[in-house]
Amino acid sequence: MNIVTPILTALAFPTANLNTESARRDNTLRETIPQASDAEQGASQKGLGSDTDKARTPGQPPAPVTYERPQVQSELQAAFDNVFGQEPDNAEDESAGKQNAQDQQQSQQQSQQQTEQEQQEIASLEARDEEVRTHEQAHAVAGGQYAGTPQYEYTTGPDNKRYITDGKVSIDISEAQTPEQTLSKMQQVRTAALAPAQPSAQDLKVAAEASQKAFEARAEIAEEKAEESGQALASEGSSSQSNGVSITPPSLNDITDNTIEPPTRSLDDAVLSAQEAAKENSEKNAYAGGARSLDFGEAQEISPAMAARVGRIQNVYTQAYTPASQGFSASA
């Protein structure tokens, strides 16, 4: 069994007389009770002296005690009101209720006007948002593979929502590998630039540039076709020369100055040949039948009607086979 010896602790005892000190402090703070007097002395009878001396002098009434609000506290209260917006207390003011009613009415009107302005601003932002979206989507759809993704710029409205106020679509207007591809590409770019209902100035500029490049591509295509046709003609001419076939067109002198006269036939030769044939036939008939033949060469004469007919026929043959010496001739 362990026995623990307690350790003595030192106790501090106050040496001062607490009751005496408390009584002395109370006596110092307690006011001096003046003795009752029949009449109060006037100002001329009081004499000179400070208020403290008069208060300590027995037989005189104490000076009236007044309590004032510290000025520092009022300044702190004013600063507090300015910071936190506390309205002044108008409970004792007669026109406080009327002033408060007017202030409330003005604040309501201001809030109503502000609400109407905000609604108008929101409506305009919504219309602008829809317009920009439709405009840029038309560019992107018509541009196809040559147009990029629409990029938008946003603005925060009074209702803390984001609205689109502007946008753009990038499009490729560079030339392709061949003039045919360039022409097709520029036509699609021009269609994309003019796709919206109301193209902007930048859209019209892009469309004009695409039209210019399309015109240049058409000119290049026409030049290439002309070169190809010329090379084809040259190759045909070289092949004909290699085969030994050469075509020389006649000259103008060969066509106009023809010295060879066409053959003409006279009617006299025909008559003579007919007479000779008739003579031979008559001789054959005479030998065969024992009759006498007649010689029509000198004995028979041609009648004037027959001679005129023969002349007309000869004239027709002469005009038909004789070349004309002039460009135009007429006969009546």
What does each of the 332 residues of the chain score in pLDDT, given as a tens digit? 456 566 666 566 566 555 677 777 777 777 666 666 655 555 555 555 555 555 555 555 556 656 555 555 566 667 667 666 555 555 555 555 666 777 777 777 777 777 888 888 989 999 999 999 999 999 999 988 889 899 999 999 888 889 999 999 999 888 888 889 999 999 999 999 999 988 889 999 999 999 999 999 999 999 888 888 888 777 776 665 555 555 566 565 555 555 555 555 555 565 566 667 767 766 665 544 444 444 444 445 667 778 888 888 877 777 765 555 554 455 54
Task: Say if 26 falls within a structural domain.
Answer: no
Q: Examine the domain organization and report whether 107 and 165 are in the same domain.
A: yes
Is 292 a domain residue?
no
Residues 144 and 181 reside in one and the same domain: no
Q: Are residues 182 and 220 in the same domain?
A: yes
- Domain enclosing residue 113, as ranges: 102-171
Decide if 264 is inside a domain.
no
For 64, the 3-state DSSP assignment is coil
Asked if 177 and 191 sit in the same domain, the reply is yes
Residues 149 and 203 in one domain: no
Asked if residue 24 is part of any domain, the answer here is no
Q: How many domains does the chain have?
A: 2
Which of 213, 235, 257 delimits the end of a domain? 235
Q: Could you give the count of Cα atoms lying within 13 Å of 4 in the half-sphere of its Cβ?
A: 3
261-291 in b/e form (b: 16+ CB < 10 A) is eeeeeeeeeeeeeeeeeeeeebeeeeeeeee
Do 141 and 124 share a structural domain?
Answer: yes
Last residue of one domain, picked from the residues 196, 219, 235:
235
82 within a domain of the structure (yes/no): no
Residue 10 lies in a domain: no
Q: Report CA dihedral (271, 277, 283, 284) to the nearest 10 degrees.
A: -160
**Eight-state DSSP code of residue 171:** B
Position 316 in a domain: no
Decide if 129 is inside a domain.
yes
Residue type, 196: P
The amino acid sitting at 254 is D
Residue at a domain's end among 126, 153, 171: 171
Query: Quick one: how many helices (H) and strands (E) in the chain?
Result: 10, 2
Residue burial 73-83, b: 16+ Cβ < 10 Å; e: rest = eeeeeeeeeee
Identify whether residues 165 and 178 lie together within a single domain: no
